[in-house]
Amino acid sequence: MATRYDVISDTHGFLSPELLEQLEGADVIVHAGDICSPADYRILSGMAHVQMCLGNNDWSYDYGPAVKDRKVFYGSGLKWQVTHYRKRLNLQMSDIAICGHTHTPFVERDEWTGTLVMNPGSPTYPRRSRPSMGRIICDEGKVLSAEIITLG
């Protein structure tokens, strides 16, 4: 059965109604840091299972000991890695790598490792683009689709 991973980053303390509407129905929400709000973390956790790393504006005591600078988890038979900074991703250790920080969305395959790499941009403070998020659909060890969704 396919699993829907909605990918966000750099929400900076604001979850817009449009973003929350897009996140409805997600199986997993992956947040690549700078959530900046324990209340927003609780809201997202009430919507779906959250896999999250800390951003440069987050403090670990706000989210508990499971939220660190790097999050590694297995989902849909794939190894995921989430860090706020792209330069901290080790593409040799994951099938899917998520980063944030730049507020600029992209999705690509690394030419050397074949790892899917995504930065969902920012739904709150976009740079060089419109507000955005990502969505990855996976099933039994395969990525079925990976896209950037423009908001607003």
DSSP the chain: --EEEEEE---TT---HHHHHHHTT-SEEEE-S----HHHHHHHHHHSEEEE---TT--GGGT-TT--SEEEEEETTEEEEEESSGGG--GGG-SEEE--SS---EEEE-TTT--EEEE---SSS-SSS-SEEEEEEEETTEEEEEEEEE--
pTM more than 0.85 = yes
Domains of the chain: 3-150 (3.60.21.10)
Residue type, 33: G
pLDDT tens track, the chain, 152 positions: 999 999 999 999 999 999 999 999 999 999 999 999 999 999 999 999 999 999 999 998 889 888 999 999 999 999 999 999 999 999 999 999 999 999 999 999 999 999 999 999 999 999 888 999 999 999 999 999 999 999 98
